[in-house]
Structure 1
Amino acid sequence: MRRRLWRNCLRPSHQTRPPPMAVKWRGCANLWPARGDWPGWPSLSGNRGWRRNLPRPRLSCTFISDRATRRRAIMSKPHNALLACGLVMLTACAPPDTASLAPASPDAPPPGQSGFLLAPDSRVMADAAPRPSAQPGQTYALATLIDMAQRNNPETRAAWERTRQAAAAVGLVEASYLPQISAQILTGWQRAEGAGIEDGLGLLPQGNVTGDIGVTTASVSVRWLLFDFGRRDAARAGAEELSFAANVAFTGVHQLLIHNVTQAYYDLQAAQAREGIQRARLSAAHEIAAMAQARRAQELATVTEEAQAGQLVSQARFDLTRAEAETAAANVRLATLTGLSPATRIGINPGDTLALPARPPAELDRFLADTLSRRPDLQAAFARARASEANVALVEASFRPQIVASAALGHRWTSGQLSDDRVPVGLDHASDRDFGGVFVGVNIPIWDGNARAMRLEAAQADHNAALAQAEYLRSSAEGEIIAAYEALKAALAANQAAGDLVRTSRVTYDAARSMADQGLLTVREVDTALRLLYDAQIAEVEARHAIRSSAAMLAFASGQIAGG
């Protein structure tokens, strides 16, 4: 049997004694490492011991029955295709190597960097909007700067987009009340092949059968949710409350911007006033130094007094430099808020201010009750709480059934072909027909693993949290209003005291300067009077600035700020 196996493998055409089972020869080139085909291999001729010299085969000849041969012949190509598809899918499922995207250690720079200094990224400034520029030498009133900020500040545009988003959410809920119409076009083709098919009756020889079928369907369907027992109503109520909250928040953004611009405007005014005082102080220091030098030339003053006069000039110059830096910083902040370039020098009118209030509002309790209801953040917070309450009703409605009506109308085209190489004539089939239907269904939720109960509990917790947050904001707002009220009262009292201090300091300095001209006072005594005068003037500037800032803060905290 073994000798017959080798002979059949070497000579597939050998027919002396057919084996009881068919032999499938896969090619001797795959069995032995030969240089050519077996029938023409010269080393086998004239050598009786060639069997002993043959290398041991790596693969053995396979005996396959006729039925297995036919099955493998039919299924070999599909199996190979499935195997290839499986390998491709396994390759696609390989996880990506993301470890190389992060730094190797906490103290190592990110990949592609030699240190912790980033390279310039041109995409940062690629879409930067051009900023308006101020006219050189032009002075701006507070109302003009507020209008510029409302038009140019990105925060107002972002808040406006959020209001549009909330309005679109309301429209999305409204759309759920209307029917949904959709069109579908589906087409497909399928082929089935069979090789070595036998006739069960033995009337036909083996053959190949091929079948093709194609289907195309075009349809229009309508789906309408008729009743949901309050689900859409609750969703609409929640969306409307969120839209109201977005609109109120939009107003709050504008009020905050107005307040910030107003404060920056008053800060710049105060900084310019302090700078002017320091300039006057430097000029007075130069006068005192000149007086000391003149007296020194007349031998009426000592070297110490002359040095003290020079010290006054240096100190005044230092204070002026610091005041100029504060003015520049205030200018940068105001320019940034108004949407201008931070390098823009904004000119303002020092006299363009609101009249100082004579006294704070009376009856604080009534003032609180009226102003708390005007605050945008409180209105938005309680609107969000009402929206969360509507969400609770929405989850409760999910326990109820839904009634849905649907309809479909379409057309289907079908074509098919069956061919057999044993039969000269194939079979063809083609058909097309219309189809349609109208349906009404009821969806009744019965059990979902307690998921709806968990959603209801989460919605109620969210509603309670929203109410607590709103109550906290209301309490904080009361504190802000009372603090601004007390700050305004203190600023008004400080302004009155600062005015008296400036008047008395002016009298003291004038008297000291007159006595110094007569040689009755030293430079140090004159400097003390001068310092007290300018400190009083700065205190008056700070008091007036505090009044305006406190009044603006009180108007903002009470939700009543609408301009400079």
Structure 2
Amino acid sequence: MRSRVAEGGGWRKRRGAAGFLLASGVLLAGCARHPPRLEGAPGVSARPDVPWEAPAGVGRGPERALPPGLPEDLLARSGDLTLADLADVALRNSPVTAEAWARARAAAGTLGSERGAYFPELEAGASVTRIQGAIANGRIAYFQRSYAPSLELTWLLFDSGGREAAVEGARQALVAADFEHNAAIQEVILGVARAYWQYVTSKALLESERVSLEEFSTALEAAHERHRAGLATIAEVLQAQTALAQAQLEADRLEGEVYTTRGALATAMGLPASTPYDVALPEAERPAAEATEAAERLLEAAMASRPDLAALRAQAEKARAHVREVRAEGLPSLRAVGSLGRTYYDNRHLFGNTYNVGLQLRIPVFTGFSHTYEVQRARAEAEAANQVLKGLEERVAYEVWAGYYALRTAQRRLATVETLLQSATESHAAALGRYKAGVGGILDLLAAQAALEDARAQGVQARGDWYAALVQLARDTGTLGLESPALRTPVRLQMSKEQEP
């Protein structure tokens, strides 16, 4: 009876402890925050229309230190630079080329890793074991400790061409990554060249517009003189004032464009947009006519030199190698295996040696059709890669064709705009002289001034378009580099505290 009471009391105690634990768990669950806090701040915003305020340090990466300004070696020879030097600064700072280079190095590591499949694999191991037991109905207990170092060797001797295909795929991936790096370099150079010509074109347009402002001011003064002399009405003065105000508006717009394009050039060079620098306008003489080859020859050069095209060719070869690799997974393979070990007991003078050597032949018989579908997928991916390559080849052909005729058109515009500017200048001079002499009207003068203003702008734009077309064609043919003729334009660079254009 006492034992039953004791047992009943023990059961009640255990039941009470279980109830206490259950109640504690429910209480703790009720105290849990929903949603949980994040770094001491609310995990989500209070309402759908309220933005979440991130705690300090969350979601903010380390600040990227931009280069403080132009390199000292560049400033030291600021009067003897070319556009290639600006492109070189961009290549030093560009994260695009750095990323492409890192990917190429990663691909090189993958190739080395795949080549490791031709070598044997050797693995060392060790184990410590303690065994305890009893015999004779538990009257005699015993235990034993052992230490067992070991070496295991595995060597793939034959796999029906799988290793070779994997290595070839990795090799083609490296080739593709290297050409993608080259393409990234060309894109950075192209970006700098475009930004440079956009900036100097905007700057030249602003200077041209300022000359037009002086001419419109001259026309306004002439209108005032004629009005004071009673030879013109107030309407003529107001028309001249309107034309001057319109020219001032255009100058203001161009001044903002100069700021924007100067920041774009600094950014293209990997510098802060606020870098205090300036680029002098290049000489105003007509660019020397670049000898352009036939479009067919340029297309041949592009097919042989375009790095993005070469990268896609390598990607297509990689896809074909992957087909061979996947196919080999369904074919026999042969491995050599072996192991060597020694087991020590508590008495170190007692030990035992173990070893084994053998060959393992693997012959896939049935995999639930999964291997068949894997081969089909690899073949489809290879066909897709071929079609992507074909599409790029067609696009390259068009880009070269369009770039070739864009350059020819730009060359013709250079010749035409000279005639336009000369005739507009003479027309404006004649109209101004007639108006001052009292035999011409204000509308004729303002029309001549507008024509001259437009001719100057077209001359500046035609020159910039010619250089842009030359750089673009070099990129389209895959020949754009720091040594390209398109980057031989002299550049005068200077650091400046003043940001006024």
Q: How does 1:42-441 map to 2 (within 5 A)?
A: 111-112=44-45, 115-116=50-51, 124=60, 126-134=62-70, 141-189=82-130, 212-351=143-282, 356=287, 358=289, 361-414=292-345, 431-441=350-360
Taking the aligned partners of 2:158 and 2:283, their CA distance within structure 1 comes to 63
Matched letter for residue 44 of structure 2: P
- 1:550 aligns with 469
- 2:378 aligns with 459
Taking the aligned partners of 2:12 and 2:336, their CA distance within structure 1 comes to 72
1:481 correspondence with 2:422: no
Is the Cα contact below 8 Å between 1:259 and 1:556 reproduced in 2? yes
Deviations 1:341-379 (A, max 9, x none): 111244223226997463773432333223222111111
Secondary structure of 2:256's counterpart equals helix
Deviations 1:500-549 (A, max 9, x none): 11110000001111122222234333222111101011011111222211
Indicate the structure (1 or 2) with the bigger Cα radius of gyration. Answer: 1
Superposed displacement of residue 449, structure 1? 1.7
Matched letter for residue 262 of structure 1: A
Matched letter for residue 334 of structure 2: I
- Runs of 4+ in structure 1 deviating by more than 6 angstroms, as ranges, are 352-355
Is the Cα contact below 8 Å between 1:141 and 1:348 reproduced in 2? no
When the two chains are superposed, the root-mean-square deviation of aligned CA atoms in Å is 3.4
Secondary structure of 2:361's counterpart equals strand
TM-score of the superposed pair, with normalisation by structure 1: 0.73
Secondary structure of 1:373's counterpart equals helix
Superposed displacement of residue 126, structure 1? 1.6
Secondary structure of 1:226's counterpart equals strand
Superposed displacement of residue 158, structure 1? 0.3
Superposed displacement of residue 180, structure 1? 1.2
Taking the aligned partners of 1:298 and 1:125, their CA distance within structure 2 comes to 72
Identify the range of structure 1 (296-305 vs 511-520) with the bigger mean alpha-carbon deviation.
Answer: 296-305
Unaligned runs of 5+ in 1: 1-7, 13-23, 34-57, 60-86, 88-96, 102-108, 200-206, 416-427
Higher RCO structure (Cα 8 Å, ≥6 apart)? 2
Matched letter for residue 62 of structure 2: A
Secondary structure of 1:176's counterpart equals helix
Deviations 1:33-71 (A, max 9, x none): 9xxxxxxxxxxxxxxxxxxxxxxxx99xxxxxxxxxxxx
Deviations 1:431-468 (A, max 9, x none): 53332232222222222222221211111111111111
- 1:72 aligns with none
Secondary structure of 2:383's counterpart equals helix
Matched letter for residue 307 of structure 2: P
How many residue pairs were aligned?
457
Identify the range of structure 1 (398-407 vs 554-563) with the bigger mean alpha-carbon deviation.
Answer: 398-407
Superposed displacement of residue 223, structure 1? 1.6
Is the Cα contact below 8 Å between 1:484 and 1:553 reproduced in 2? yes
Is the Cα contact below 8 Å between 1:132 and 1:339 reproduced in 2? no
Percent pairwise identity = 26
Matched letter for residue 167 of structure 1: A
TM-score of the superposed pair, with normalisation by structure 2: 0.82
Is the Cα contact below 8 Å between 1:189 and 1:212 reproduced in 2? yes
Is the Cα contact below 8 Å between 1:150 and 1:156 reproduced in 2? yes
Taking the aligned partners of 1:151 and 1:455, their CA distance within structure 2 comes to 43
Is the Cα contact below 8 Å between 2:45 and 2:52 reproduced in 1? no
- 2:361 aligns with 442
Is the Cα contact below 8 Å between 1:227 and 1:404 reproduced in 2? yes
Is the Cα contact below 8 Å between 2:471 and 2:480 reproduced in 1? yes
Deviations 1:290-342 (A, max 9, x none): 33333333444322222223222221211111001111111111111111111
Secondary structure of 1:405's counterpart equals strand
- 1:78 aligns with none
Deviations 1:143-200 (A, max 9, x none): 111000111100000000011011111101111111111111222446569xxx995x
Is the Cα contact below 8 Å between 1:372 and 1:378 reproduced in 2? yes
- 2:29 aligns with none
The correspondence for 1:516, drawn from 420, 426, 435, is 435
Superposed displacement of residue 389, structure 1? 0.8
Is the Cα contact below 8 Å between 2:298 and 2:400 reproduced in 1? no
Deviations 1:230-270 (A, max 9, x none): 11111111111111111111111111111111111111111
Taking the aligned partners of 1:468 and 1:265, their CA distance within structure 2 comes to 36
Give the 3 Å change call, closer, same or farther, for CA 173–135 of structure 1 in structure 2: closer
Matched letter for residue 29 of structure 1: G
Secondary structure of 1:186's counterpart equals strand
- 2:423 aligns with 504
Taking the aligned partners of 2:11 and 2:175, their CA distance within structure 1 comes to 83
Superposed displacement of residue 403, structure 1? 1.9
Is the Cα contact below 8 Å between 1:142 and 1:352 reproduced in 2? no
Q: Which has the higher helix share?
A: 2
Is the Cα contact below 8 Å between 1:270 and 1:542 reproduced in 2? yes
